[in-house]
C-alpha cells in the first residue's frame, strides 16, 4: 500500500502544484507544501498483540516531516493501539507484544538500546481526555516534562513555559494566573495545556489520540486550528473518529479496518485529498462516505 504514495515535490524543484497534493478539497484552499519530504517515522510491517491475540497487524507507512498524518477507521480497527506503539506506551502492559519495525529517524524504537523515557521525550503524546496533573499549577504542568528530563534552571523553565503556552494559544488567558491549579481551567483549556506540556519538551513527533473527543464543538474548533498552526513546529500523527476533522486537518491519511479475524489492518494510505475523493479501495470509499463505521 505504501508504494502508491507519491512523495511531495522537494521544495527546491519548482514543480507546478497538482490538484491532488495542494488543494484542500473541503475549503478549496490551495496551500504550499512546506514539508521537507523526509520521513520522520517509518513503520514496517508493524503489529501489536495482547497475550497472543493480534489487535492490529501488517501496518507499513512513512510519516513525513511537518505533516499531519491522520489514522482513521471505525472502532476496533486498532488506531489507538497502533498510535500507542509509536512511543512505547504498551511497555506497561506485560502481555503486549509489538512486532515489525518502527524507526524514528535513525533510532529503532524497539531496539534494546533505546531508552523508552528518552524516546518519549522525542515522541510526545496528547490523550483523549485532557489529563493535566491536578496537584500541579498551570506553570508546573507546562514545565513538568522539562523537569522530568532534568532541566532545573528557572530562567530556562520560564522561557519554555511561555513559549509552549503561546504555541498552544493559551498564554493570553493564563499568563496572569500561572500559579492557579490546572483544574481551574475549562476542558478545552486543559487540553491546550496538555498540548503545551507536550510541546515544551520539543518533541519531533506529537501523537494525538482523539484529542477533541471529550470537548464541545467550539473547543474542538480551536484545537483543530491549533493543530494546523503546530504543523510548522512539529510532525503530528492524529487518531480521529471524525471524518470531517480528518478532512480539515490531515495531509495524509491511513485508513484502518478490522478484518474478519477481528484484527485491525491498514487498508489504504495516501494523501488526504486522494483518500477522501478517489480512494483505491472500495472499502475506503464506503467508509469516508459514511456507509459504515
Using CB under 8 A, list all residues that contact another protein.
87, 89, 92, 94, 117-121, 124-125, 127, 129, 131-136, 144-145, 147-149, 181, 183, 194, 197-198, 201
84 Cβ contact partners less than 8 Å away, ≥ 6 residues apart: 90, 207, 209
SS3 214: coil
Nearer to another protein, 11 or 134 (CB): 134
Maximum distance among all Cα pairs of the chain, rounded to whole angstroms: 56
Write down the residue that cell numbers 511531495 correspond to. 8
Q: At what angle do helices 187-200 and 138-148 cross, to 10 degrees?
A: 30
Nearer to another protein, 201 or 223 (CB): 201
266 phi/psi in degrees, rounded to 5: -80, 120
* 69-81 b/e (C-beta count within 10 Å ≥ 16 → b): bbbbbeebbbbbb
SS3 72: strand
Contact 230, 199 (CB under 8 A): yes
Measured in Å, how far apart are the chain's first and last C-alpha atoms?
A: 22
Nearer to another protein, 9 or 151 (CB): 151
CB of 149 to another protein, least distance (A): 5
CB of 50 to another protein, least distance (A): 14
Nearer to another protein, 134 or 187 (CB): 134
Burial category of 47 from C-beta neighbours within 10 Å (exposed 0-12, middle 13-18, buried 19 and up):
buried
CB of 121 to another protein, least distance (A): 3
CB of 250 to another protein, least distance (A): 22
Nearer to another protein, 6 or 183 (CB): 183
CB of 197 to another protein, least distance (A): 7
CB of 135 to another protein, least distance (A): 4
Nearer to another protein, 121 or 273 (CB): 121
Amino acid at each position: 500500500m505504501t508504494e502508491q504514495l507519491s512523495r511531495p515535490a522537494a521544495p527546491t524543484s519548482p514543480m507546478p502544484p497538482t490538484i491532488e497534493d495542494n488543494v484542500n478539497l473541503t475549503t478549496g484552499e490551495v496551500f504550499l507544501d512546506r514539508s521537507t519530504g523526509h520521513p520522520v517515522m517509518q513503520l514496517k510491517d508493524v503489529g501489536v498483540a495482547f497475550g497472543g491475540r493480534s489487535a492490529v497487524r501488517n501496518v507499513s507507512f512513512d510519516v513525513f516531516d511537518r505533516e499531519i498524518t491522520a489514522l482513521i477507521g471505525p472502532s476496533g480497527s486498532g488506531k489507538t493501539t497502533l498510535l500507542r506503539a509509536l512511543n512505547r506506551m504498551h511497555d506497561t502492559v506485560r502481555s503486549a507484544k509489538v512486532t515489525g519495525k518502527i524507526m524514528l529517524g535513525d533510532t529503532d524504537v524497539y531496539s534494546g538500546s533505546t531508552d523508552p523515557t528518552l524516546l518519549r521525550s522525542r515522541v510526545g503524546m496528547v490523550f483523549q481526555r485532557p489529563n493535566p496533573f491536578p496537584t500541579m499549577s498551570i506553570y508546573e504542568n507546562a514545565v513538568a516534562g522539562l523537569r522530568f528530563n532534568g532541566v532545573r534552571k528557572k530562567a530556562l523553565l520560564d522561557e519554555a513555559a511561555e513559549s509552549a503556552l503561546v504555541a498552544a494559544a493559551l498564554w493570553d488567558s493564563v499568563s496572569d494566573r500561572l500559579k492557579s491549579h490546572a483544574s481551574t481551567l475549562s476542558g478545552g483549556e486543559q487540553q491546550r495545556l496538555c498540548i503545551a506540556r507536550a510541546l515544551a519538551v520539543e518533541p519531533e513527533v506529537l501523537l494525538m489520540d482523539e484529542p477533541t473527543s471529550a470537548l464541545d464543538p467550539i473547543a474542538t474548533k480551536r484545537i483543530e486550528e491549533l493543530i494546523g498552526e503546530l504543523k510548522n513546529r512539529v510532525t503530528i500523527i492524529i487518531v480521529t473518529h471524525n471524518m470531517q476533522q480528518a478532512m480539515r486537518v490531515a495531509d495524509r491519511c491511513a485508513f484502518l479496518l478490522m478484518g474478519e479475524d477481528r484484527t485491525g489492518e491498514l487498508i489504504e494510505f495516501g494523501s488526504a485529498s486522494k483518500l477522501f475523493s478517489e480512494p483505491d479501495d472500495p472499502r475506503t470509499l464506503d467508509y469516508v462516505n459514511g456507509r459504515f463505521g
